[in-house]
Structure 1
Amino acid sequence: MKTEDAIWGALEEVLDPEVGVNIVDLGLVYEVAVEDNGQANIEMTLTIPQCPLADEIVKNVEEAAAAVQGVKGVKVSLVWEPKWSPARMNDKAREEIRARRSLV
């Protein structure tokens, strides 16, 4: 398995604490690239720029990526273009959110 693919898999374990759905299914991760020296570069966004849990989410992303075999360092870049919208979510995320709403 390529290191990039392993990182994508690890990021599926990182939840957006406010939504309760993983950041990959939410469409928050835009790019994962690993340099020859093992440096992982992750470009991602948040649902809103003023997210009060931004630091926690970035820390969780760094920890998840760093745990992947072959990763020697992690740099997370938060970007705001393209802007996140619900259209970036996959069907799995939509179903999870609907299920959570029906429990309330």
Structure 2
Amino acid sequence: MSDPIIDHFAIWFRRTLLFIVVALLQAIALSLWVLLVEIHVTNNDLQFWLRAAWSPTIDNKLPAVILYGSLAIGILTTTVFYLLVSKWWKKRGDVHRRGARFGEGEM
């Protein structure tokens, strides 16, 4: 036997965890693309850029801007994806169309 309240919280927790994982994966992919392809950072210098992003100095804020911008873009695109899926899901599960129907003038 299952408890519907615990099932609801388990679904909510799984979806939240999936949201965080997908947003972080998008942010990592975007920041790696910017660093490796656009700025041409070598693989050996990635650790320096990550360290500089977590503790930015006054004179060099570019690593922090790239990291936090990538995180923001990852969160926003994941939010849009979740909203699109929820809108699609709402149309699929429309319960107002179920049940008996009476034709016009019939009984």
TM-score over 0.5 (shorter chain): no
**TM-score, scaled relative to structure 1:** 0.33
- Max Rg structure: 2
Tell me which protein shows more strand as a share of its residues: 1
Give the alignment's TM-score, normalised by structure 2: 0.32
The structure whose residues are more often helix, as a share, is 2
